[in-house]
Amino acid sequence: RKEVEQDPGPFNVPEGATVAFNCTYSNSASQSFFWYRQDCRKEPKLLMSVYSSGNEDGRFTAQLNRASQYISLLIRDSKLSDSATYLCVLEYGNKLVFGAGTILRVKS
Amino acid sequence: GAGVSQSPSNKVTEKGKDVELRCDPISGHTALYWYRQSLGQGLEFLIYFQGNSAPDKSGLPSDRFSAERTGGSVSTLTIQRTQQEDSAVYLCASSLVGTNEKLFFGSGTQLSVL
């Protein structure tokens, strides 16, 4: 089983839509969780950390379910500029393990 | 510097040649990571440095791969006797202390082995 699993998508949504991605992980010892965003042919950039109580940053909401070992990202009121690959990331020992990513395409 | 700098941005080499990839992390960042990303794939962890030491080399794919970091700053990833399957984007990232913090990535080195 992969350490981090994501639905590769693509998710094709119209502007203004709400979209959610899930990510499951296998290592229950992981302590830190993140969502990164990667634009085509660019390097990944941190979108937001994921806290146990759930957290929100503008249109983005992240949640962590330790019991079921998954994290989620909700994007409200999608914009064209949200089109990217969203990477689920967790800390495991001395490294950050990246999922393969979920592709989001927002269309007008 | 303002961000993580990697060089070269592109490298084309022939199978069997050695290549050296360089990473200049953000000044003051003690943690440095190397990842690689093949086309359409996720990031594959290669190695992690804390200062000049590498507590985790578990991701290096074979003994053809090695990395060093000197002066707690610049790091070099060396691939000996390159193979076609080594073709990928090699990404370097740094953070202030460790893995529970934001990673800042360089723009990567696109390696193509012919």
Scanning every residue of chain A, which has its alpha carbon at the shortest distance from the alpha carbon of B39?
Answer: A41
Contact partners, residue B65, CB within 8 Å, separation at least 6: B46, B77, B78, B79, B80
The band of B63, judged by pLDDT with boundaries at 50, 70 and 90, is: very high
Write phi, then psi, for B86 (nearest 5 degrees): -80, -10
Count of CB atoms within 10 A of residue A57's CB?
Answer: 11
Tell me which residue of B89, B72, B87 sits closest to B26, measured CA to CA. Answer: B72
Contact B100, B11 (CB under 8 A): no
Write phi, then psi, for B16 (nearest 5 degrees): 100, -15
Cβ distance B42 to A46 less than 8 Å, yes or no, reads no
Mean pLDDT of chain B: 93
Residue type, B81: R
In chain A, what residues touch B35 (CB-CB under 8 Å)? 98
- DSSP of B58-109: TT--STTEEEEE-TTS-EEEEE-S--GGG-EEEEEEEESSSTTS--EE---E
B89 has a pLDDT exceeding 80:
yes
Considering only the beta carbons, identify the residue of A43, A94, A99 that sits closest to B108: A43
- Return the residue in A4, A38, A94 with the most chain B beta carbons within 10 A, the one to mutate for interface testing: A94
Distance CA B4, CA B94 (A): 7
Distance CA A26, CA A70 (A): 9
Per-residue confidence (pLDDT) for residue A23, from 0 to 100: 95
Tokens 């119209």, residue located: A14
Q: Considering only residues A74 and A96, tell me which one the structure prediction assigns the higher pLDDT.
A: A74
Q: Is B111 helix (H, G, I), strand (E, B) or coil?
A: strand
Considering only the beta carbons, identify the residue of A45, A46, A95 that sits closest to B48: A95
Considering only the beta carbons, identify the residue of B42, B99, B106 that sits closest to A94: B99
The band of B2, judged by pLDDT with boundaries at 50, 70 and 90, is: confident
Scanning every residue of chain A, which has its alpha carbon at the shortest distance from the alpha carbon of B43?
Answer: A98
**How near does any CA of chain B get to the CA of A68, in Å?**
21
In chain A, what residues touch B33 (CB-CB under 8 Å)? 95-96
In chain B, what residues touch A31 (CB-CB under 8 Å)? 100
Burial B13-52 (b: 16+ CB within 10 A, else e): beeeeebebebbbbeebbbbbbbbbeeeebbbbbbbbbee
Contact A80, A106 (CB under 8 A): yes
Per-residue confidence (pLDDT) for residue A30, from 0 to 100: 85
Question: In this structure, what token pair is assigned to residue A66?
Answer: 């330790």
B30 near A CB under 8 A: no
| Average confidence (pLDDT) over A61-79 | 96
Considering only the beta carbons, identify the residue of B41, B103, B106 that sits closest to A96: B103
Cross-strand pairs, A35: A48, A88
